[in-house]
Structure 1
Amino acid sequence: MAEAASKQTILVFGDSLSAAYHIPQSQGWVSLLAQRVKDNQLPYEVANASVSGETTAGGLSRLPAAIKQFKPSIVVIELGANDGLRALSLDAMKSNLEKMILASKQANAQVVLLGMFIPPNYGPRYTNGFKAAYLELAEKYKIPFIPFFLDGISGHSDLVLEDGLHPNVNAQRKILENVWPTLKPLLANNSK
């Protein structure tokens, strides 16, 4: 099929927040993104290579194989939350994210970075450093960036699972609405 061959791939590379944790896969924000791309007749396929529990170190080790498999033109990186929850080294997290950005760019893929916040109980030095790591990388590499892609969801008990962390089914469309305005211009620019 010529049409399938001409489609480009958006690779969503994240953790449980993008892997439809404890909800039907078809109702996760990445599946909703795939449906929106299809509804808008954009020449893209969406591949979800997100793994629950993934850290930036795990993501970095998996990314080369995912790039080779999917040959993405856009890579959406959504990692770091598990590093933060485990209070792992911020320097290591930032370095891992940076290496993923560079590997994606080396593969001629555009990168979208989805930022994350962590709860304040980790202390201001760690929480501020965590948030700053994403911003600094986005500015350094001039890549599209969403500072907090769970904006409007985190802290709302009606939008998270009983664990208080993971977005529920009702939150998935909101996540898509947080991501879509940043992603949409790239899709229009890449469509030929």
Structure 2
Amino acid sequence: MTGGLKRLILVNSYLICLFLASFAQADNKTLLVVGDSLSAGYGIDIKQGWVHQLQLKLDREQLAYTVVNASVSGETTTGGKARLPKLLETHQPDIVLLELGANDGLRGQPIKIPHNNLANMITAVQNADAQVLLIGIQIPPNYGARYTEAFAGIFARLAQTYDTALVPFLLEGVALNPQLMLKDGIHPTAEAQPILLDTVWPYLKPLL
């Protein structure tokens, strides 16, 4: 076999591999995460965050999904609602995980603001023919029991109204464990991230 023929075979093999890889990637469905610092990996390496670990889990289980993490630390439901149309247009997701509201609650926003914003976002996702997984959050009782309970109830009411899947509380088993929270008492540590993923996974898996 001549050197020129060998080079031609190698080039053709390389092009075939690129084609197959591109085809496989194009065939992947898209899972979009729209969240705040809890999903953006605040205070830790982003690769330690539960969203990145979700991609690894999907890969291990040979589930053809590409995870797009559009989470922004400090994001409110108002900011998320403003960003969502462009995100839906750009990524055309099959599933959208909505993890927002904590910053609204920590700022003492009237309950109707996060409720209405999340309702608007759910409707936008459903109108884009994507499934919604709403991720619930609770806040510390800084504003009194009445506000805290009303805030926590937002997510269950929305899930029932719009018939969406719901993770009741993202920080279940984490929030009250000081060893799993950063010094600010708000954000989970790197060690807590697998627990967050385990909390989300049972509600996400039926949507895949």
Shorter-chain-normalised TM-score: which range?
A: over 0.9
Total equivalences in the alignment: 187
- Map 1:75-86 → 2, pairs under 5 A: 75-86=96-107
The structure 2 residue matched to 1:5, chosen from 26, 29, 32, is 26
1:170 partnered with 2:191: yes
Q: Which protein has the bigger helix share?
A: 2
Deviation for aligned residue 1:94: 0.2
Point out where structure 2 has 5 or more consecutive residues left out of the alignment.
1-21
Q: Which residue in 2 is equivalent to 1:89?
A: 110
Based on CA coordinates, which of the two structures has the bigger radius of gyration? 2
1:28 partnered with 2:49: yes
Which aligned runs of 4 or more in structure 1 are off by greater than 3 angstroms? none
Deviation for aligned residue 1:146: 1.1
State the Cα RMSD in Å.
0.7
SS in 1 for 2:37: coil
Q: Following the alignment from structure 1 to structure 2, what is the Cα–Cα distance between the partners of residues 16 and 108?
A: 27
1:17 partnered with 2:38: yes
- Map 1:93-172 → 2, pairs under 5 A: 93-172=114-193
Q: Following the alignment from structure 1 to structure 2, what is the Cα–Cα distance between the partners of residues 23 and 111?
A: 27
The one-letter code sitting in structure 2 at the alignment partner of 1:36 is K
SS in 2 for 1:47: strand
SS in 1 for 2:134: strand
TM-score, normalised by the number of residues in structure 1: 0.96
Q: Following the alignment from structure 1 to structure 2, what is the Cα–Cα distance between the partners of residues 26 and 121?
A: 32
Deviation for aligned residue 1:121: 2.6
Q: Following the alignment from structure 1 to structure 2, what is the Cα–Cα distance between the partners of residues 121 and 8?
A: 41
Question: Percent of counterpart pairs with the same letter?
Answer: 49
Q: Which residue in 2 is equivalent to 1:190?
A: none
The one-letter code sitting in structure 2 at the alignment partner of 1:116 is I
Please list the CA deviations of residues 36-86 of structure 1 after superposition, one character each: whole Å capped at 9, or x if unmatched: 001111010000000000000000000011111111000000000000000
Please list the CA deviations of residues 85-137 of structure 1 after superposition, one character each: whole Å capped at 9, or x if unmatched: 00011101100000000000011110000001111231122111101111100
